[in-house]
Structure 1
Amino acid sequence: MNKLYVSINKLPPLFIVLFCVVSLFIFAFLIVCSAEASGADKNVSGLEFMSQSPFCTISRDYSERLISEEKQMACNRYFDEKFFAPWSQDKPVGGVDLLLWGFRAFSRRKVFGENRQPRSREWFGVQHDNASIESFGTLNRKAISVEEADLRVFPTQDPLFYSFDEPGEGYPFDYLQNSTVQPGEPLFVSHISKDGMWAFVNASTASGWMDIRRLAWISEAQIEEWKKHSLCVVVKDNVPLLDSEGVFYALSKVGTILPISRDRTLADCYEVLIAIRGSGGNALFRSVSLDKKAAVAKPFPMTKWNAAFIASQFIGESYGWGGLNLKRDCSATTRDFFTVFGIWLPRNSKAQGQIGQKIDVQNLSVCLKEKRIKEEGIPFRTLATMPGHVMLYIGEYYGMPVFLHNVWRFRFLEEGKEYSHIVGRAVITPLNPRIKSEKGELIETRIGERVSHFVILGDK
């Protein structure tokens, strides 16, 4: 021990400092890689032993780019074009069919309310009347979201469920929950509901009925003012937007985009613009501060470390179908992940599987799919898609390809009968996680079998 003490003290001071820094980094990295998601699931093979830290899938040069700067900036320009598209509209997209599809889809089958009682014909009639279909496309006004908000299929907060007795149905699958918008999103309003409480809006990724109190009318001059600034994007969840006096305006999540009015370098924060609802529902701009630990200039450089950091923000988040309860489902998770890096994704899993560079694997075994993703997939840029679900490939864990996804349940067959194991949160799993039966046997979930394509993003 004394010899070691003497030998270290004979080393140059700079070497000692570097040695300490590297040692602390390695120690911290090992802690991160040993971390499990809160409430690790001992019944799912993969969650029982697998680290729930995306940092454990990266190695070597952590600053290495996963996409060139040139490509990323091209993607970001396309992203901004799509994001601001509602402010370039002069009529609603999709036509009246976009307004009516829910009535056609749900009025034909038995559906239920929150009290588990069937929805009546009268209830559907009330919703149809309030939708004021004859007014579709008569207002055609531009707006901006002033806080986080739901987009609903009907102009109501009433939920609509399929039979609670069917596997995988009931809560949280409220089929009137279409999507959500974040504070500061461009909107185009087709018309207002008969009761005046709801606006039918086109947002950049989805359409639906929005509580009118959560939007404000915006003028062309205000749009130009908003768009002339550089943009920042929030990189941590549930960041409150507060003014200098501590007044709360809205809650921001990973992927919220706001214009930078001032870069306060010495204070290590951005002053950003938010919109509030003023007199007559017209937009007023306010300035709030965002710590640079919570927001970065958009797009965030897509390096290995940055990708792992953003992915880590989703781990353990509760499942929220269509953004229910301001949570995420599988496709909202992937969309918000790529938003930070300026890479555009549509809202639902089916649409996400139809863009990018597609690798068809639907006729391959699970083993061959794993081999293919390891050979051709790019970590943090590749989706695994299947009917009704999407996952983000984040690299290898001890040679095994692993995926980040927010999943409600794993389905499996036991003695010819289908069962469900509820996960209900964002997790990292192998391609084909297995479930422990009551007898202690491991049963395949068959997720891997259902994967039909891998999709590589970021080449647009």
Structure 2
Amino acid sequence: MRFRPAHSLIAAALLLALAPAFAREPTQLVRPAHGVVGVEDAQLDPNFWIGKLGADADRVLLDKAAIDAANAAMRAQDPTIHDLGALPASITAQQAREWIEEMSERPTRTLYDEKHQVVPAATLDGLVDALALDKLAASTPTRYALVVERASLRTFPTNLRVFSSDDDTDIDRFQESALFPGTPVAIVHESRDGQWAFIVSQRYRAWVETKHLAQGARDVVLGFPQRTPFRVVTGAKVSTVHTPELPQASELSLDMSTRLPIANVAPDKIVNGQHPYSSWTVDLPVREANGTLRIAPALLQKNSDTQGDYLPLTHANILRQAFKFLGERYGWGHDYNARDCSGFVSDVYATMGILMPRNTRDQSRSPSLHKTLFDDKSTREQREATIKDLQTGDLVYIPGHVMMVIGWIGDQPYVIHDTNGGTMRAADGKLRSLHLNGVSVTPLLPLMYDETHRYVDRMTSVVRVATSH
């Protein structure tokens, strides 16, 4: 079905009227010794949930043409998706300043460092000075680069970690996201010390260390992710083989959804000191000493978890891909060489060729995604009516968090989500913080937002990605 904001109340009322049709067998949730209510070892296996879907598990939800159309709509309609190919040959100082100031606004709240000390005002002033806005030329030629290794995107041109409270050193408020090898970017500006670049990527604008970038010709950079044939990483992480002959390509970590083109080399040609017959020879972007781009061959073992095309968009594949991250540590803004809640769901869907915005709010409100929206006027009954209609792969949003539906056990919907929290009521009725801090499986309904509100009471949106236009 297609969800539209204007229709959300009508849809909810209709579903409520049809509630008996969605009636499910009441389920008594177990309380295992580990304390995560309703979860036993069997439910940590994707095959448990795939088996509950029967023949529907492998039904193709959207074919390639439909996915291409959805991605085209995303690029055309969503303001958080940036078309690098449409950037002008030069960026004006006014435009660069607007982009940088939108990202790098001087914090007004108190922040703490890794030693639990207040970050001095002088330090924050120094970060603003590092933006070097006074060095913006009236017009600067647009430069292009490929990311050569996993690179953090930062609010300011610094690796200083800052936190909202003196007892939390987990969520770095200057960490925005991360880019994977082979990602094209446009360089807009450089920090005062020249060690950082303010870049525009398809899904984000922020600061990245220049050591992670290799500058090249526009057509080479923008054409790199379009080249065919290619391999796309479908495992949580894989890596290239060790190669002392080319250290930049040796054991390079590649996250799920990374796409690399197959190199145009003879099948019997030795690659970096090794015969390639048991590996895929892929092209990697390499940074030369002067910061320029070189495309070099590297080996990716054939037994690694990669594919020669994007996976079909099926419920089974959604589940298999999501569960490959089960237990991975939560990393705000793709920190800790991991990912956060919105990065998790977008990396999963990217292996099936689906383009999504980066952050939770943007995903939940994207004009090109099918959604039911909720606000302060939405009733509990309207929210519960939508819950009754949840399907595998649906995304449930609350303020600052997103969860992916994996199925039902009786009348209990279950989700997999990358969370740094997780609060439920203990057997004595008191709230208990589970501190899950990773990719976790939980029932949805027992999750508590605060003492009086469940997660479902605070829902802002439910998005169904696998719905055609």
Partner of residue 15, structure 2: none
2:134 is aligned to: 134
Q: CA deviation at 1:374?
A: 4.2
| 1:330 maps onto 2:351 in alignment | no
Partner of 2:99: 98
The answer to whether structure 1 residue 52 and structure 2 residue 44 are counterparts is: yes
Q: Distance in 2 between matches of 1:319 and 1:279?
A: 34
Which secondary structure does the structure 1 equivalent of 2:434 belong to? Answer: strand
Distance 1:122 1:308 in 2: 48
Give yes or no for contact 1:412–1:445 (8 Å, CA) kept in 2: no
**1:48-447 paired onto structure 2 within 5 Å:** 51-58=43-50, 59-61=53-55, 62-75=57-70, 85-90=83-88, 95-101=96-102, 104=105, 106=107, 108-136=108-136, 138=140, 140-165=142-167, 170-223=168-221, 226=224, 227-242=226-241, 247=247, 248=250, 250-261=252-263, 267=277, 269-290=279-300, 291=302, 293-355=304-366, 356-360=369-373, 363-365=378-380, 369=383, 372-375=386-389, 377-380=390-393, 382-411=394-423, 420-433=433-446, 446-447=454-455
Query: 1:297, 1:84 → 2: CA distance?
Result: 26
Q: How big is the alpha-carbon RMSD for the aligned residues of Structure 1 and Structure 2?
A: 3.4
Give the number of the structure whose residues are more often strand, by fraction: 1
- What amino acid is the match of 2:414? V
Change (3 A) 1:49 1:259: closer
- What is the rounded CA distance, in whole Å, between the counterparts of 2:151 and 2:171 in structure 1? 18
Pair 1:451 & 2:448 matched = no
Deviations 1:416-455 (A, max 9, x none): 99874311001111112358xxxxxxx8872222123211
1:345 and 1:51, CA in 2 relative to 1: closer, same or farther beyond 3 A? same
- The percentage of aligned residue pairs carrying the same residue is 24
What is the CA-CA distance between 1:160 and the residue it aligns to? 1.4
Question: What secondary structure sits across from 1:233 in the alignment?
Answer: strand
Partner amino acid, structure 2, of 1:171: T
Q: CA deviation at 1:250?
A: 2.3
Distance (Å, rounded) in 2 between the aligned partners of 1:405 and 1:416: 24
- In structure 2, the gaps of 5 or more residues are 1-31, 268-275
Per mean C-alpha deviation after superposition, the further-off stretch among 74-83 and 145-154 is 74-83
* Equivalent in the alignment of 2:4: none
Whole-angstrom distance in 2 between the partners of 1:76 and 1:233? 17
**How far did 1:48 drift?**
5.0
* C-alpha distance in structure 2 between counterparts of 1:66 and 1:122, whole Å: 54
Q: Letter of the aligned partner of 1:198 in structure 2? A: W
Q: Hey, what's the Cα distance between the residues in 2 that align with 1:400 and 1:299?
A: 32
Tell whether the 8 Å contact from 1:260 to 1:270 is kept in structure 2 after alignment.
Answer: yes
Q: Which amino acid aligns with 2:386?
A: R
CA gap of 1:142–1:89, structure 2 versus 1, over 3 A, is: same
Give the superposition deviation at 1:239.
Answer: 1.1
Name the CA distance, whole Å, in 2 between partners of 1:138 and 1:189.
Answer: 10
* In structure 2, distance between residues paired with 1:233 and 1:373: 34
Alpha-carbon shift at residue 304 of structure 1 (Å): 3.1
Q: Secondary structure at the match of 1:56?
A: helix
Contact 2:81–2:204 (CA under 8 A) maintained in structure 1: no
Structure 1 residue 300 displacement after superposition? 1.3
Instruction: Report the CA distance shift for 1:301/1:89 in structure 2 as closer, same or farther (over 3 A).
Output: same
Q: Distance in 2 between matches of 1:221 and 1:453?
A: 39
Deviations 1:133-179 (A, max 9, x none): 123463531111000010111111011111225xxxx2211110011
CA distance in 2, matches of 1:292, 1:88: 38
8 Å contact from structure 2 (residues 132, 192) kept in 1 = yes
Whether the 8 Å CA contact 1:409–1:421 is kept in 2: the answer is yes
CA offsets 1:337-359 (integer angstroms, 9 cap, x no match): 11111111111100010121112
User: CA 1:238–1:222 in 2, change beyond 3 Å: closer, same or farther?
Assistant: same
Moved more, 193-202 or 97-106: 97-106
| Secondary structure of residue in 2 paired with 1:422 | coil
CA distance change for structure 1 residues 253 and 361 in 2, over 3 Å: closer, same or farther?
Answer: same
Q: Which residue of 2 aligns with 1:26?
A: none
For 1:402, what is the secondary structure of its paired residue?
strand
Structure 1 residues 259 and 92, CA, compared in 2 at 3 Å: closer, same or farther? farther
State the number of aligned residues.
Answer: 406
Deviation at residue 84 of structure 1 after TM alignment: 8.4
Q: Secondary structure at the match of 2:290?
A: helix
Task: Note if contact 1:403-1:428 (Cα within 8 Å) is conserved in structure 2.
Answer: yes
8 Å Cα contact 2:198/2:207 also seen in 1 = yes
Say whether the 8 Å CA contact 1:180–1:322 is kept in structure 2. yes
Aligned mates of 1:79, 1:216 — CA distance in 2: 28
Amino acid at match of 1:63: D
SS in 1 for 2:122: helix
Q: For residues 92 and 152 of structure 1, what CA distance do their matches in structure 2 show?
A: 21
- One-letter amino acid matched to 2:285: A
Q: Distance in 1 between matches of 2:251 and 2:212?
A: 11
Conserved in 1, the CA contact under 8 Å of 2:67 and 2:354? yes
